[in-house]
Amino acid sequence: MKHVEKLTDTVLKVVEKVARNEVEKNVIGGAPKCSAIYHQPKRPKKKEN
């Protein structure tokens, strides 16, 4: 019976994590969009010796 209780506890923890993630995603609107993908710094010019 201990194996079943341990399995039940594990399943409940996983379901809780999934539920929390879904609520955060739907209520908060998911992860914020990162604008860093649009910022591309200029490369340094090559120096001729």
For the stretch 3-40, pLDDT in tens is 888 899 999 999 999 999 888 777 766 555 666 767 77
Half-sphere exposure of 7 (CA within 13 A, CB side): 4
DSSP-derived letter for residue 18 is H
* Domain, as residue range, for 33: 2-38
| Number of independent structural domains in the chain | 1
Residue 16 lies in a domain: yes
Residue 7 lies in a domain: yes
- The whole-angstrom separation of Cα 47 and Cα 45 is 6
Report field, pTM of the whole predicted structure over 0.85: no
**Distances 5 to 12, 14, 19, 48, 49 between C-alpha atoms, Å:** 11, 14, 21, 72, 73
Residue 43 lies in a domain: no
Residue 48 lies in a domain: no
Residue 18 lies in a domain: yes
The pLDDT score that the predictor gives to residue 2 is 77
The pLDDT score that the predictor gives to residue 35 is 67
